[in-house]
C-alpha cells in the first residue's frame, strides 16, 4: 500500500514542499530511499527502523520504498525521519492512510522514538502556510519558532508513540500550540554612545554611516577605542521592522543558532568574525550548507577588526555580496542564495606596530607600512565610503564630566534621514544615498557655485579620483539629509571631505 506525507526541505533560507511517498509491497525484504538523498537521509533508515520498533510497533518485513519528490533537488539533513516513519505506519495500516492529508511533517527521530529539533522550521512553516497546508507537525523544541507564524495549526511532537496515540484517538487537535508571546516586542539592550567620552568625530562619522548606509573604516592606534565605538553602531540604527526580524530569524533558524528555539530575533545583528575565519565560514557553504557571517550580519553590522590581518582571498570574496546584498554559493547540485544586506564596519591600525602618525613611537619602515596597507584589496576599499581617524583620547576628554549624547538621540536623527531618503528614492531602485549610481548622483547631488569651487580645489589639491569624488558627494547628501536640508551646502562638503583625508595620509 502506498501513502504520501508532505514534508519540507531547505534551499538557502527558503523551504519547498517535498512529497514523501512510501510504498510497501510484497517481495524481498528491503528498505530503499530514492530521490537524491544525502548521507543523512540514508542514515535516517536506521533511525526510523529502530524508532518504530522502540515505540512498540512492528517494522514491516516487506519490500519498502521511500521516494522523496521532487527528485531533482538535493535534500539535506535529518528532518525527513518523522515523515518517513509516519508514512510507514500509514502504509502498514497502523494509522489511517489519509490521516495526514492536511499536514506537513518535519522532525528528526532518536533511536528511542523521541523527536529531536531540526533547523529551518520557521521557513518550513511559512512555506507550508503559503501552499495552503492547514496543519504542521514540528519537533516540540521548535514549537515557539513555528508559532511565530499564524494561520496554521502547530502540533508540537515529543515522541513517536505520543503522536500515534493522539492520531489514533483523534485527540491531536487538543495539542495545537499557540505561543503566549504574540506581541512583537523590540529588544533595546544596545551598548550606548553615551558611555564613550570624546571621539566626537568618529561618533559623527558613524552617524553619517548609519544615516546613509555607508560602509566605514576606522583607522587608529591601539587604545583609541575603535572596538568600543564600533560595537555601538547598531544602537543608532532604526529598530528592526517585523519583516526584518522574520528574515533574520529565518537565517538564524537555518543556521541552528536560534537561542531558545523560538524567540524572534529583534536585535540588530552585530557580527565580528576573527581574522582567522575561513572563506566558507564568512560567505556560507559547507557540506551541509549553512549561512556564513555575512548572512548572519544581514540587516545589521559586519565588523572586521584588524582588517589587514584578514587574508586577501577572504576579503576578495566579499566584493560581490557587498554589491548584490545577497551571496550565492555554487554547489554540486545547483546554487544556494542567502541574503547578506549588511553594513560593513572595519577597523585597523595605521601600521604594523600601530602608532604611525602618533608621536615618534612608530619604528616601522615605509616599506613595511605600504605592505601592511597593501593587504587590503583596492576593490574592497572601493566599497567603503567613509574612512575616519580615531585618535587616542586625551586626559581632558577622559576627565570631562559633561554628559555625552545618547544613542537614542542620535538614532532619531538617523531615522529622520532615512525617511527623507525613502521619500526621495521612492521611484528609484535604491533606499540609501550610498547606493546612488553616477547618474543618480548627478540628479540628486547638485552643487551650488560656492560648493563647486570648493570641490574643484579639493579635487586638485587632494588628487582625488573620480570614485572618491562620487563618495564625497554621496556622503554630503547624507550630511544634508541629517540636517534636513534639501540641497547640499558648502558646510556639508567641508565636513565629509574629512572622511576621505585618510586616503592621503595613509593609503597613498
Ligand atoms: Zn608602526
State the pTM of this model.
0.88
The domain at 193-426 falls in which architecture? Answer: 3-Layer(aba) Sandwich (3.40)
Residue 437 pLDDT: 94
* Strand arrangement, sheet containing 63-69: 30-34, 63-69, 14-25, 2-11, 103-105, 135-139, 153-157
Mean pLDDT (whole number) for 340-359: 91
Ligand 1 centre distance from Cα of residue 353 (Å): 4
Q: Over pLDDT 90: what percentage of the chain?
A: 65
The confidence band for 184, taking pLDDT boundaries of 50, 70 and 90, is low
Residue 381 pLDDT: 84
pLDDT at residue 218 is higher than 90: yes
Q: Which residues are CB-contacts of 317 (< 8 A; sequence separation ≥ 6)?
A: 279, 282, 283
**What's the pLDDT tens digit per position in 271-293?**
999 999 999 999 998 777 789 99
Q: Which has more pLDDT, 37 or 108?
A: 108
Q: Which residues are CB-contacts of 247 (< 8 A; sequence separation ≥ 6)?
A: 13, 298, 299, 339
Ligand 1 centre distance from Cα of residue 389 (Å): 15
Q: Over pLDDT 70: what percentage of the chain?
A: 95
pLDDT at residue 306 is higher than 60: yes
Any idea where the domains of the chain sit in the sequence? Answer: 2-175, 193-426
Query: Which CATH code is given to the segment(s) 2-175?
Result: 3.30.230.10
Residue 502 pLDDT: 60
| Cβ–Cβ under 8 Å, residues 140 and 156 | yes
Ligand 1 centre distance from Cα of residue 234 (Å): 31
Residue 21 pLDDT: 95
Ligand 1 centre distance from Cα of residue 357 (Å): 8
**What's the pLDDT tens digit per position in 469-507?**
999 999 999 999 999 999 999 999 999 998 986 665 554
Distance CA 145, CA 117 (A): 11
3-state secondary structure labels for all residues of 161-172: HHHHHHHHCCCH
Residue 185 pLDDT: 58
Distance CA 72, CA 35 (A): 7
Ligand 1 centre distance from Cα of residue 308 (Å): 14
Average model confidence (pLDDT) across the chain? 90
Burial class (CB in 10 A: 0-12, 13-18, 19+), 445: buried
Ligand 1 centre distance from Cα of residue 196 (Å): 26
354 three-state secondary structure: coil
Ligand 1 centre distance from Cα of residue 372 (Å): 10
pLDDT at residue 181 is higher than 90: no
**Closest CA relative to residue 141, chosen from 169, 117, 123:** 117
Cell of residue 451, nine digits = 560648493
Residue 504 pLDDT: 56
Residue 356 pLDDT: 86
Ligand 1 centre distance from Cα of residue 424 (Å): 45
Beta strands in 140-272 (DSSP E): 153-157, 216-219, 270-271
Residue 508 pLDDT: 41
Amino acid at each position: 500500500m502506498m501513502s504520501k506525507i508532505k514534508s519540507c526541505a531547505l534551499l538557502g533560507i527558503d523551504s519547498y514542499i517535498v512529497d514523501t511517498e512510501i510504498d510497501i509491497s510484497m517481495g524481498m525484504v528491503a528498505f530503499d530511499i530514492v530521490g537524491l538523498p544525502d548521507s543523512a537521509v540514508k542514515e535516517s533508515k536506521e533511525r526510523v527502523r529502530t524508532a518504530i520498533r522502540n515505540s512498540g510497533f512492528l517494522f514491516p518485513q516487506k519490500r519498502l520504498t521511500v521516494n522523496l519528490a521532487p527528485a531533482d533537488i538535493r535534500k539535506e539533513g535529518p528532518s525527513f525521519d518523522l515523515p518517513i516513519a509516519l508514512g510507514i505506519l500509514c502504509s502498514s495500516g497502523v494509522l489511517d492512510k489519509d490521516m495526514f492529508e492536511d499536514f506537513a511533517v518535519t522532525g528528526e527521530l532518536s533511536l528511542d522514538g523521541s523527536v529531536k529539533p531540526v533547523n529551518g522550521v520557521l521557513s518550513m512553516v511559512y512555506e507550508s502556510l503559503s501552499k495552503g497546508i492547514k496543519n504542521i507537525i514540528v519537533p516540540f523544541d521548535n514549537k515557539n519558532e513555528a508559532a511565530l507564524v499564524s494561520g496554521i495549526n502547530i502540533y508540537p511532537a515529543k515522541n513517536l508513540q505520543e503522536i500515534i496515540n493522539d492520531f489514533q484517538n483523534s485527540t491531536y487537535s487538543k495539542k495545537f500550540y499557540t505561543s503566549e508571546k504574540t506581541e512583537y516586542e523590540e529588544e533595546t539592550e544596545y551598548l550606548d554612545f553615551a558611555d564613550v567620552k570624546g571621539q566626537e568625530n568618529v561618533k559623527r562619522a558613524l552617524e553619517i554611516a548609519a544615516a546613509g548606509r555607508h560602509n566605514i573604516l576606522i583607522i587608529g592606534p591601539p587604545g583609541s577605542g575603535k572596538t568600543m565605538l564600533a560595537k555601538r553602531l547598531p544602537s543608532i540604527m532604526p529598530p528592526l521592522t517585523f519583516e526584518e526580524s522574520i528574515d533574520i530569524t529565518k537565517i538564524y533558524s537555518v543556521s541552528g543558532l536560534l537561542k531558545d528555539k523560538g524567540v524572534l530575533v529583534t536585535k540588530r545583528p552585530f557580527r565580528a568574525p576573527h581574522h582567522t575565519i575561513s572563506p566558507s565560514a564568512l560567505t556560507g557553504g559547507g557540506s551541509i550548507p549553512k549561512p556564513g557571517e555575512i548572512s548572519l550580519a544581514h540587516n545589521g553590522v559586519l565588523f572586521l577588526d584588524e582588517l589587514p590581518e584578514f587574508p586577501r582571498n577572504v576579503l576578495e570574496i566579499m566584493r560581490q555580496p557587498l554589491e548584490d546584498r545577497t551571496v550565492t554559493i555554487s554547489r554540486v547540485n545547483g546554487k544556494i542564495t542567502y541574503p547578506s544586506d549588511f553594513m560593513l564596519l572595519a577597523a585597523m591600525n595605521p601600521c604594523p606596530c600601530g602608532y604611525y602618525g602618533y608621536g615618534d613611537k612608530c619604528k616601522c619602515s615605509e616599506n613595511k607600512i605600504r605592505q601592511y596597507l597593501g593587504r587590503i584589496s583596492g576593490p574592497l576599499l572601493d566599497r567603503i565610503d567613509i574612512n575616519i581617524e580615531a585618535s587616542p583620547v586625551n586626559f581632558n576628554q577622559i576627565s570631562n564630566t559633561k554628559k555625552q549624547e545618547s544613542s537614542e538621540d542620535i538614532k532619531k536623527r538617523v531615522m529622520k534621514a532615512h525617511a527623507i531618503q525613502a521619500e526621495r528614492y521612492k521611484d528609484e531602485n535604491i533606499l540609501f544615498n550610498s547606493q546612488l549610481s553616477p547618474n543618480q548622483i548627478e540628479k540628486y547631488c547638485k552643487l551650488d557655485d560656492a560648493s563647486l569651487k570648493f570641490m574643484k580645489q579639493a579635487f586638485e589639491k587632494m588628487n582625488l579620483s573620480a570614485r572618491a569624488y562620487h563618495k564625497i558627494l554621496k556622503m554630503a547628501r547624507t550630511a544634508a539629509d541629517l540636517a534636513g536640508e534639501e540641497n547640499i551646502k558648502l558646510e556639508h562638503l567641508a565636513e565629509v571631505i574629512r572622511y576621505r583625508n585618510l586616503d592621503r595620509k595613509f593609503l597613498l
